[in-house]
Amino acid sequence: MTGRRPLPLVLAQWAQWLRDSAYAFPLAVLVAVLMLGISELGYRQAQAHMNRVVVMSKVRLQLAVMLRRMADAESGHRGYLLTSSPEYLAPYRDGSQELQAGVATLNTLYGRLADEPGQLRLKALEQEITTKLSEMNEVMAMHDAGRRQAALDLTQSGIGRERMDSIREISFELMAREDLRVDAGMKSVFDTLEFSRIGVSGMTALSLLVLGMYLRQRRLGDEHRAQRQHEIQNERDRLEGEVRHRTLELTDLARHLETAREDERSRLARDLHDELGALLTSAKLEVARMRPVLQQAAPELLPRIAHLGEALNSGIALKRRIIEDLRPSTLSTLGLTPALQILCVDFAERLGVPVHVDLHEVTVTAAAELTAFRLVQEALTNIAKYARARTVWVTLVEEPEHMCVTVRDDGVGFDPARGPGGRHGLVGMRYRVQAERGQLTVQSAPGRGTLITARVPLQTVPLDTSQAIEVSPAPP
């Protein structure tokens, strides 16, 4: 007794060895593999036993069903002989057919169990059932041949009672035999599960012990990695904040460029209206003054004068159209809804494509109105260039907090992953809408048309580049 070391000391030394040894993790893996092997072996054995128990239960159930079908057939047989009512023939015939099918099922089940004694007793039961059915068929034949009284006499004399008793005896014998086999099978299942439970529990405890030692060995490494992850996350947060800040600066720059672009367009439109308009009007007046003089002096030049007047009228019309494209006067004088209505009507007349409009009055800033107008204008331009559409739909509605503009066509569409032919136009739409703190989404598929939806806040909040405000526009 004095030479033995205490059990707690031995366990402590083993734990110290596992914690410091390089074999701790391979040993944990080995224990886990053994645990899985024990579990799988127990599962397969239990499954095999359960499969046999299930087959035995099916055998017993089929025997009970056959015994009941035999009783139904006999009852139907007697009822028909006593009453000559055809309604008793159905239980008799059904019972006879199901008895034959039941015998075939039992042969299959006993074959799966490889139970030769059971198969021999089943053959005896099959012979008794066949003999009993033959006797009942003969009595039915006598009844159907007009010998009803003779058939009744045979039935009342108790013919076939011994066969029926034999059928019951063999059936009960087989059912009792299957009950014993089911009990034995369930005991085997429980024994297998008990063995598996003990083995898995032991291996689990051992594996947890070894794994605990291994995890303790890696704790310092995990703490170091956690510290590194924290540093990386802080750097990632800083970079994301910087990206959001730069995004807001770029958005502000896009708004500034769009504003400068619109200002330049306005200046150019004014110059064209004032200077080029004055020149064209003056030239038209000069031509009008020359017409009476030439009519007297050189009548042959009148066709040329008429052609020159038409050219000046075309130039004046072209000037007006260019001015309207540069800075739509209808937008500033009539408002967004009439301007969009005129734009859609002009598009439909030029291309011969019907445009269905659903435009409602909205209350937004002048910049948001211009954004909506330019978006529809750019969308219609892209439809004219690429879509080959048959119909176009344009809507303008006011939502609780946004103005919603949609342009839809039934044209050829495009793959959003590859982008349409007018991809730069969609990029311009996105940045213009984003500059107004809105969101643009484009939905399309080849052969299914295109839907462009823009939502712009009713009250535009000035951009604050000192704060990180996330903007999530849909990709073009």
* Other Cβ atoms within 10 Å of 55 Cβ, number: 20
235: pLDDT strictly greater than 80: yes
Cβ 280 vs Cβ 316: under 8 Å: yes
DSSP string for 19-65: HH-TTHHHHHHHHHHHHHHHHHHHHHHHHHHHHHHHHHHHHHHHHHH
> pLDDT value at position 18?
52
- Residue 240: pLDDT over 50: yes
| Mean pLDDT within 9-29 | 57
15 pLDDT above the threshold of 60:
no
Stretch among 19-33, 140-154, 278-292 having the lowest mean pLDDT:
19-33
- Is the pLDDT confidence value at 405 over 80? yes
pLDDT value at residue 475 = 35
User: What average pLDDT does this structure show over 270-276?
Assistant: 65
Higher pLDDT, 359 or 211: 359
162-199: per-residue pLDDT in tens? 777 777 787 787 778 777 777 777 777 777 777 777 87
Query: Does the structure show a pLDDT above 60 at 420?
Result: no
The predicted structure's pLDDT at residue 2? 46
Cα gap 302→82, rounded to integer Å: 126
Give this prediction's pTM: 0.42
- Which conformational region is residue 194 in: left (phi greater than 0), alpha (psi within -120 to 50 degrees), or beta? alpha
* pLDDT, tens digit (0-9, with 9 covering 90-100), for 49-69: 677 777 777 777 877 877 777
What percent of the chain lies above the pLDDT cut of 70? 72
DSSP states of 354-392: -EEEEE------HHHHHHHHHHHHHHHHHIIIII--S-E
pLDDT score, position 214 = 65
Residue 400 tokens read as 């609780």
Question: Under a CB-based contact definition with an 8 Å cutoff, are residues 351 and 384 in contact?
Answer: yes
Q: Residue-wise over 415-439: b if at least 16 C-beta within 10 A, else e?
A: ebeebbebeebbebbbbbbbbbbbb
Which 3 state secondary structure label does DSSP give 261?
helix
CB 349 within 8 A of CB 325: no
Given this model, what pLDDT does residue 160 score? 64
Percent of the residues in the chain that have a pLDDT greater than 90, as a whole number: 12
Task: Give the residue ranges of DSSP H helices in 272-301.
Answer: 277-297
Rg of the chain, C-alpha, whole Å: 48
- Contacts of 247-254 with C-beta under 8 Å, sequence gap 24+, read 247/471, 248/463, 248/464, 248/465, 248/467, 248/468, 248/469, 248/471, 249/465, 251/431, 251/434, 251/435, 251/463, 251/471, 252/435, 252/463, 252/465, 254/431, 254/432, 254/434, 254/435
3-state secondary structure of 451: strand
Residue 467: the pLDDT is 36
User: Whole-angstrom Cα distance, residue 406 to residue 397?
Assistant: 9
pLDDT at 454: 94
pLDDT digits (tens, 9 = 90+) for 250-265: 766 666 666 666 666 6
**Alpha-carbon 55 to chain mean position:** 41
Mean pLDDT of 304-321: 75
Residue 45 contacts by C-beta under 8 Å, 6 or more apart in sequence? 192
pLDDT score of 17 = 53
The whole-number pLDDT of residue 62 equals 76
**Where are the chain's structural domains?**
11-217, 329-476
Number of DSSP helices (H) and strands (E) in the chain, helices first: 13, 5
Tell me the mean pLDDT in the region 407-417: 88
- Is residue 226 helix, strand or coil? helix
The pLDDT score that the predictor gives to residue 468 is 34
Closest CA to 245 of 474, 463, 473: 463
Q: What pLDDT is stored for residue 68 in this prediction?
A: 79
User: Which residue carries 């919603």 as its tokens?
Assistant: 404
Per the DSSP assignment, residues forming a β-bridge with 403 are: 398, 456
Confidence at residue 130, expressed as pLDDT on a 0 to 100 scale: 77
d(CA 155, CA 161): 10
pLDDT at residue 473 greater than cutoff 50: no
Given a cut of 80, whether residue 395 has pLDDT beyond it is yes
Among 3.30.300.130, 2.40.10.220, 2.40.40.20, 3.30.565.10, what is the CATH number of 329-476? Answer: 3.30.565.10
**pLDDT for residue 5 is more than 90:** no
What's the whole-number mean pLDDT along residues 365-388? 89
Interatomic CA distance for residues 197 and 408, integer angstroms? 66
Q: Give the pLDDT band (50/70/90) at residue 274.
A: low
Q: What is the mean pLDDT of the chain?
A: 75
